Amino acid sequence: MTVFVLFGATGDLAARLVLPAFWTLANEGLLPEDWLLVGNGRGDVSHENFRAHVREVLGSPKKGWAEFAKRLRFAGGGFNSDSPGSLLDVIGEARAQIGVNSQLVHYLAIPPVAFPEITKALGVHGLAKGSRVVYEKPFGTSPESFRSLNRQVHAVLDESQVYRIDHFLGKEATQQLHAMRFANQTMAAIWSREHVESVQIDVPETLDVANRAQFYDATGAVLDMLVTHLFQVAAEVAMEPPASLGAADLQAARETVIRRFRPIDPAEAVLGQFAGYRDIKGVAPKSRTDTFVAAKLWIDSPRWRGVPFLLRTGKRLAASEQRVSLVLRTPGAPFRKLPPQANVLSFSLAGDGEVDLTLLAKKPGIADDLEPASVALPLASLPEADPIPAYSRLIHDVLIGDRALFTRPDGLSAAWKAVRPLLDTPPRTIAYEPGSWGPAKARKLAAPHRWLLGQ
């Protein structure tokens, strides 16, 4: 029995990600037998109007909609420490319907600036005890605000109740990093500096920020993507083998390696802003917000010392990809002058995920000519595969109380330390053309070779 309270229920994040994820879980039969979803917001919205809104954002589904819709409620009047609006009444009615001891799950699909007040209000109005609370990223906007928010959260909630979501950790292909590495001795043997020349974590996007310009202009690529998604994926690649895949062991392995991240040198980072960004409604006319970041990350652990992790992401770029690539070292003898970056193990994190391997092979014929040859494993093609979107996976984990794929404060604290030099003394933001691969200066970060995508 679960009452799922969605703060910011009529906002952009809820419409794009949270509500569709919940709908997927319902269709897959992965929700508790008895559940209700209570949307919360400032407006005086009726239950029926909220249901109509949800149906619209889901694309007006028919099959299964009637059963889903009857479990939707809305509590208007806002919610803060001074006034709960109608939320207490609606939750009371929901619990009376499905069970007074129903598990409360609060999902904060709201701007991060509102996290402290909503958290305080949960405590003031008696909604914190025994509940689970999901916080969207970024969890803080600076090292100082992270520490302040963490104190405020822990003043109301025990750490075991807190679920800091980073949906890249819920992606099928991100979890394949565990499976491929830890379940295959061949992969485990090459997963180190002796065999890996460099690692590229590349997340270019063709999208702009028009639908969330005000949020983005206060955040930018470094806070929205680098210190969150890209750092977490780097930790997934670089961590030492955990004792198990249980929550405590997996989180500990991830957070331990983040503490080995060397603070980023601003001289090894490039910030950019696409031309026309300042013309978007909601963006400050003289905004210096970065819409692109590329950086070189070093990890001071015995396994990875001296191996550059190249991280890149940006808006309005030439293509949309989400790719992790381990560039393998090429041997010397007996072949000479082997092409660089020809041996690559790559994981596409987009969609259902794919694993790609590129190796040099002899081209059939009398000569000893070598050519790169590639094989691909689409994860959805595995027998009886049933892939589930990342947000659906993570919300399901919250519902069952599994924190393995959620971030911990010690790891986030280390991540903020690693990015701090880039926040304190950022390099000059360079303009780039929409549809390009960002500032040309970013190419130098991959020297003496190149970015595998686009250049």
- Rounded-to-integer distance, Cα 200 and Cα 312, Å: 8
Read off the tokens for 258. 């983040």
Do the annotations mark residue 205 as ligand-binding? yes
Q: Which amino acid is at 299?
A: I
Beta bridge partners of 362: 370
Do the annotations mark residue 167 as ligand-binding? yes
User: For residue 450, how far is the Cα from the chain centroid?
Assistant: 25
**Which position has the token pair 């005086």?**
44
- Rounded-to-integer distance, Cα 326 and Cα 343, Å: 9
Do the annotations mark residue 444 as ligand-binding? no
Q: Count H helices, E strands: the chain?
A: 15, 15
The radius of gyration of the chain from alpha carbons, rounded to an integer in Å, stands at 23
- Residue 229 appears among annotated catalytic residues: yes
Q: What is the DSSP letter of 220?
A: H
Could you tell me if 64 and 27 are in contact, meaning their C-beta atoms sit under 8 angstroms apart? yes
**Is 452 strand, coil or helix?**
coil
| Residue among 53, 229, 396, 449 flagged as catalytic | 229
Q: What is the DSSP letter of 80?
A: -
Q: What is the DSSP letter of 339?
A: P
- Rounded-to-integer distance, Cα 188 and Cα 183, Å: 8
- Rounded-to-integer distance, Cα 426 and Cα 226, Å: 14
- Rounded-to-integer distance, Cα 177 and Cα 348, Å: 11
Do the annotations mark residue 296 as ligand-binding? no
Do the annotations mark residue 120 as ligand-binding? no
Do the annotations mark residue 315 as ligand-binding? yes
- Residues marked active site are found at 229
Instruction: Point out the annotated binding site for substrate.
Output: 167, 171, 205, 224, 315
Residues making up the annotated binding site are: 42, 137, 167, 171, 205, 224, 315
Q: Which residues are annotated as a binding site for NADP(+)?
A: 42, 137
